[in-house]
Structures are given as C-alpha cells and as structure tokens.
Amino acid sequence: MDRVEVDLKQEIARLKRERDAVILAHNYQLPEVQDVADFIGDSLALSQKAASTDAKVIVFCGVHFMAETASIICPDKRVLIPDLEAGCSLASTITVEQLRAWKKEHPDAVTVCYINTSADVKAECDYCCTSSNAVKVVKSIPEDKPVLFLPDMFLGAYVAEVTKRKNIYIWPGECHVHAGIRPSLVLEMLKTYRDAEFLIHPECGCTTSMVYYFGNGNGNGCVVNGNGNGNGISCNVKFLSTEGMMKYARQTSAKRLIVATEVGILYRMRKENPDKEFIPISSDAVCKYMKMITLDKVYRSLRDMVYEVKVPEETARRARRAIERMLAIN
C-alpha cells in the first residue's frame, strides 16, 4: 500500500466521522474500496444494512440502481454515489415505457422485476426479487396467473426451468459480464478442475444449459455427459447469489472452488478463506461500471457530498411496495 492510498484511507475515515456516514461496497468493487467499507455484500442486503444504522449519510459504492434502492429503503438518509456514470448494462435493457407497453400486451399478468432495475421500473412491478429468492417469489404466484419476468433472460430461464412454469414470459435482457460465461467455458473448466466445486451465478449465460445438464434446480452433485459417451465428468455445482457464494465458501470443506461471476468477489473470498483456492471462471469477467468507483472518488464524494441519488417520493412509495412484497415472502 503506497503513501497516497494510506493518506486517502485516513482522510476517508476522518470524513466518515465528520459526516456521520457509512460506506457500503458491493462484492464486485475494487479491493481498496472494499477495504474502507463498513459493510460489503449484495445490493439489497447493503440497503437493508444501511436502514438499520443511525448514520445520516450513505456512500454507496456500487452502481446507480443500487443507490436508488438505498434511497427507496432509507428515505430519511442522504444517499451518495461516488460516480454518477456507474450504471448497469442489465438495468438499462428495459425502460419504464417499454415495461408499460409489455404490460398492456399481458393485462392479466403479474410482473416480477429483478433487483437490477431502475426505481421507475420497480415502481411499475408487483414484486421485486433477487437472484437468491427469484424462484420462491415466482412460486408464490398462483399458477393460473401469467408472469412477466424482467429484465434478465438467463435468470428468467433458470426460474422457468426450476419452477416448470409454462406461463412465464421473459424479457430479453442480459448483463454484459454474466452473458459471456457460456456453457462451453464451464464444461472446459469442469474437465480441467475435476476436484473443484463450482459456484455459478444464475445470471450467467450458462445457467439454463447447466440446469439441463445437472438434471435439477439445485446443482447438488451431477454427472455431465455421463451417458455412455466416455465424456462423463463428476462435479459439485451450486447456483448461488453473490452473498450465497460468500456464505457457501465459508462453510464448504472443499479446498478449491471455481467462481462463475464478476471477479471482484474473489478479493473478499480469499480474504475470508485464506486456506482455500478460488479460481475465476474467466479473468475477463469484469464489470467496467463497478470498477468506475475508485478510492479517490469515494474521498471526493465524502468531501464534497456528491453525488446525491434521491428517488421521487411517489416513485419510491410504489417501488418500496414491490420490495416489501418480496420480503414478506422471504
């Protein structure tokens, strides 16, 4: 750690005390940003953590929809994001106008949006969900009701496969990072690391194919191509959210794990589990938007109290309803 980084971290600590602030960092953030955070985790859990603190200011080191979610859950707090340009390729695949038009095509449908959406989109939906509870949310909806699931087509396809629901319509959106994690890449890694456990995020482009390979929605042990063609691969695969991955990494007795999600999560995994080896499914799985938040920008955000993210009251109220319906199911 160089002198500049040390000085910045000290200044950030001082400003946190002066501003009565907490710093939240998503699992995909740069290591030095995670190091100054009060809480590290996935987007919804971080907002819930913020709501439970007495701090007046929240500095959200993540992407824009996450700061919006914090504003929705914590309307009495000032929410800052260190870079307004830190967007989300998945959230941007659907606008509120597109959603309204889609709903008109299916007037009887129940609308379920992934947490990776804008506040305006959440406000138009009946339920919100995360990657860890999407299946549970959809299962809670009466089977005779059509479901519009948005915006991630891979998570949606995963939910459809696990629930066996035939009346679910899926928006064709994707995360540019997770979409690049294809079945061929996973199968190649399975052959290379036969002794490893595999942790796969449901947003990945490989997910639905992997569910078919593994024969169930749990991924608890499998044989890939084990049909007499000589290419059988024994494996242990889990489909997990980022925080689910963190929890599993702490609990498993396995010493080698392949991680199929954005590479930023590896820093925390290795820090919390120094006796285990964590291998990225691809070193190219990098979110350029997450990496826009730097230590210098965190410092400037606290120093100048920029950039505030505030969701209009009526939008926040309607979006909060979708989130609360999800939490009630949990």
Would you say 201 is a known binding-site residue?
A: yes
CA pseudo-torsion sign 86, 89, 90, 91? positive
Closest alpha carbon to 282 in 206, 216, 202: 206
Would you say 202 is a known binding-site residue?
A: yes
Would you say 88 is a known binding-site residue?
A: yes
Would you say 61 is a known binding-site residue?
A: no
pLDDT band per the 50, 70, 90 thresholds, residue 1: low
Would you say 203 is a known binding-site residue?
A: yes
Fold of the domain built from segment(s) 91-175? Rossmann fold (3.40.50)
User: What b-and-e string marks burial along 94-108, b requiring 16 or more CB atoms within 10 Å of the CB?
Assistant: bebeebeebeeeeee
pLDDT band per the 50, 70, 90 thresholds, residue 19: very high
Structure confidence by residue, pLDDT tens digits, 158-201: 999 999 999 999 999 999 999 999 888 888 998 899 889 999 99
Full strand arrangement of the beta sheet holding 110-114: 127-129, 110-114, 147-150, 168-170
Phi, psi at residue 144, to the nearest 5°?
-85, -5
pLDDT band per the 50, 70, 90 thresholds, residue 64: very high
Q: What is the pLDDT of residue 205?
A: 82
CB 209 within 8 A of CB 158: no
Structure confidence by residue, pLDDT tens digits, 72-96: 999 999 999 999 999 999 999 999 9
Would you say 248 is a known binding-site residue?
A: no
Estimate to the nearest angstrom the gap between the alpha carbon of 316 and the chain centroid: 20
The DSSP letter of residue 253 is -
For the domain with range 3-88+290-310, which CATH number is right: 3.40.718.10, 3.40.50.10800, 3.30.300.30, 3.30.420.40?
A: 3.40.50.10800
CATH 2.30.40.10 applies to domain 178-280: no
Would you say 262 is a known binding-site residue?
A: no
Would you say 106 is a known binding-site residue?
A: no
Would you say 282 is a known binding-site residue?
A: no
> Where in the chain are the domains?
3-88+290-310, 91-175, 178-280
Alpha-carbon distance of 45 to 237, in angstroms, equals: 24
Strand partners, 282: none
Number of H helices and number of E strands within the chain?
A: 14, 13
Would you say 115 is a known binding-site residue?
A: yes
